[in-house]
Amino acid sequence: MPSAERPPSPLTPLSASEEGFVRALGRVMMLLPRAVDTDMLRDAQLPLSEYTALMHLSEAPGGHLRMNELATVCNLSLSGMTRVVNRLEKQGFVQRAKCDEDGRGWNAVVTDQGLARLEKAWPTHLASVRRHVLDHLDPEDLPRLTDALRHIVPGVGSGGRDA
């Protein structure tokens, strides 16, 4: 933006292109997780919430995260994450262990069985993400789109890490 232009105030109405972008982004934020979850349930018999929890645990040092950290990176409330971990625990994909650091909190720990389940579901997740997102984008645009999304809310969706 040229230095002579003043940035719009928060009460400046959106331009048509701004409005279109915000509405399209909202639609993607609402419908994309549902579409991927539908694919995951149908083809891998694993809800997206459980896949995402296993994925983050598999990427964490030592294969474990405190329950509140796991909830944060999965974008769930602590009670919602507790329900997901309860289901994963009943299937043998996750165990709970007292936190070594303070002994008060609990870690969710991915098991070998959980890693195998994640690996089995990965092709379905990959195909779904490609079909619903990547097949609609030009590969040359990905770095710019990724950068733009990271600027909207820094650190969101990456657990504070750049993906």
Structural domain containing residue 95: 38-132
In tens digits, what is the pLDDT along the chain, a chain of 163 residues?
455 666 777 889 999 999 999 999 999 999 999 999 999 999 999 999 999 999 999 999 999 999 999 999 999 999 999 999 999 999 999 999 998 877 788 999 999 999 999 999 999 999 999 999 999 999 999 999 999 999 987 754 444 444 4
Distance CA 28, CA 65 (A): 28
Residue 47 within any structural domain of the chain: yes
Query: What's this model's pTM, rounded to 2 decimal places?
Result: 0.84
Domain tally, the chain: 1
Residue 32 within any structural domain of the chain: no
Residue 100 within any structural domain of the chain: yes
Q: Residue 75 belongs to a domain with what CATH number?
A: 1.10.10.10
